[in-house]
């Protein structure tokens, strides 16, 4: 089966890419490791509000427990959305931010 990215006949994984393309993407995506902060902070705020704020307002603990699971769902959803966005950006050959470009001296 051919790789969906480089179109060479290599064994592909579940993403449809060969191991070399996956390795290239892994190295490229490590430059954006701070993306995890948005997912964790977004979901963490929901977990904090559901776990701490709702019981203080008099909401039953069962309702706040479901809110905590919702917060973890937000973390997972934001992580998947961001991973797919970065994969599309990598496929499009987007340039790195200027801070990562080597100097021309």
Domain positions in the chain are 34-94
pLDDT tens by residue, 30-88: 888 888 898 899 999 999 998 889 889 998 988 888 888 988 999 999 999 998 898 88
Q: Which residues contact 34 (CB under 8 A, 6 or more apart)?
A: none
Say what the pLDDT of residue 97 is. 53
Decide: helix, strand or coil at residue 5.
coil
Which residue would you say has higher pLDDT here, 105 or 61? 61
Q: What is the DSSP letter of 15?
A: T
pTM (two decimals)? 0.70
């Amino acid at each position: 089966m051919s790789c969906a990215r480089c179109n060479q006949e290599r064994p592909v994984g579940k993403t449809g890419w060969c191991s070399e393309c996956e390795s290239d993407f892994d190295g490229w995506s490590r430059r954006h490791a701070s993306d995890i902060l948005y997912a964790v902070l977004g979901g963490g705020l929901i977990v904090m509000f559901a776990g701490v704020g709702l019981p203080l307002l008099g909401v039953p603990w069962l309702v706040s427990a479901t809110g905590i699971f919702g917060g973890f769902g937000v973390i997972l959803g934001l992580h998947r959305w961001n991973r797919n966005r970065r994969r599309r950006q990598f496929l499009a050959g987007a340039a790195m931010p200027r801070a990562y470009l080597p100097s021309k001296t």
